Amino acid sequence: MAIKERLSGNEAVAYAIKQINPDVMAAFPITPSTEIPQLVANYIANGKMDTEFIPVESEHSSMSATMGASAAGARALTATSSCGLAYMWEVLYVAACDRLPLAMAVVNRALTGPININADHSDSMGARDAGWLQIYSENNQEAYDNFVMAYRISEHKDVMLPIMICQDGFITSHALANIELLDDAVVKNFVGEFEPDNFLLNKDMPMSVGPYAVSNYYMESHKAQEQAMENAKQVILDVAREFEAISGRKYGFFEEYRMEDAEYAMVIMGSAAGTTKDAVDELREQGIKVGMIKLRVFRPFPADEIAAALKNVKGAALMDRSISFSTQGGPMASEICAALYRNDVRIKTVSYVYGLGGRDYTVDTAKSIYEELIDVVDNNKTVENFRYVGLRDANEEK
């Protein structure tokens, strides 16, 4: 039976963690993810969880402790944001290479510098090639649902990779919203118990984790990771189908919004998708055939599926809330353009970078992007390789 609640995104994730009741959580506070370990610590102190909470001296240590717990056979997790994720940089790669199925709640926040505490995706996008699964949430409900599904994906025998469940800092993490929670027993039964085949405390199978790899083995380890990432595609879909059966909520690699007959599309991730849906509805009322694809799973990247979803549109606006300093736009746009090319889908695309450091993204902003896209497609308007949305004029008063 669904439990109706009003929770912030951080509260929703912490509640999911309480229901899962993992063995170990190591964490170091950083805005705007601090509430998650704080709430978990309160649950533990009040006897609602028996998770071992490890307060550490840095984010590097929190990931190291989480890795150690996972390698020892425990279900483990941590939470972080922004520079905290960057401070974990070294051990992010180790966790993936060691095939440790641990989870991390990432509350997306701009990376320094300059110093900024507001939402964008530069932190998790900076780690996009560290070998982690990455799932992004539009709203508080999705943040909760995605975390409930996280371990089922990560711990699958064909995957065994760490997973990031991402949500936008402050926009969802601190904003209250009505959501539906699952019953504790339903979550417990869905997630199940962690039963690793190999772990450090297994006295019957002595082993090491993270040994030095000479040239004869290094490439093979990465090939194995790549295969696990490929395997994760089917596992993500299978777990989503099982989750739909207990919740009624449907998930996939992405959500298509009014794409059935769309001629102009936008591809976007995170909380801005909700704003874009309102823009789509308003333009549809004017008879303009626009649609939206909300990308949920960024790693593994659903290249063929995205290309198939876009093949019938005239043009697409590719929206990144982070910048890749390649002079070619954002990381998501680059991946989509490659996917279109490899699948021989010939449509016009424009790469947009928006919302950096918390810059506003409104319904009017989204409508203006659609209008420009239509001008590019129908009137051959010339635009730059990629465009910044809402950039202040250099002469504007500071």
Any alpha helices (H) in 21-109, and if so which ranges?
Answer: 35-45, 59-71, 82-87, 89-97
Residue 123 corresponds to which amino acid? D
pTM score above 0.95: yes
What is residue 15's three-state secondary structure? helix
Positions in the chain short of pLDDT 50: 398
The pLDDT value recorded for residue 209 is: 87
* Domains along the chain with CATH numbers: 3-247 (3.40.50.970), 254-388 (3.40.50.920)
Question: Whose CA is closest to 268, among 191, 351, 328, 344?
Answer: 351
Distance separating alpha carbons of residues 307 and 193, to the nearest angstrom:
37
Tens-place pLDDT, residues 59-96: 999 999 999 999 999 999 999 999 999 999 999 999 99
Looking at residue 244, what is its pLDDT?
98
CB 308 within 8 A of CB 281: no
Q: Which residue type sits at 114? A: P
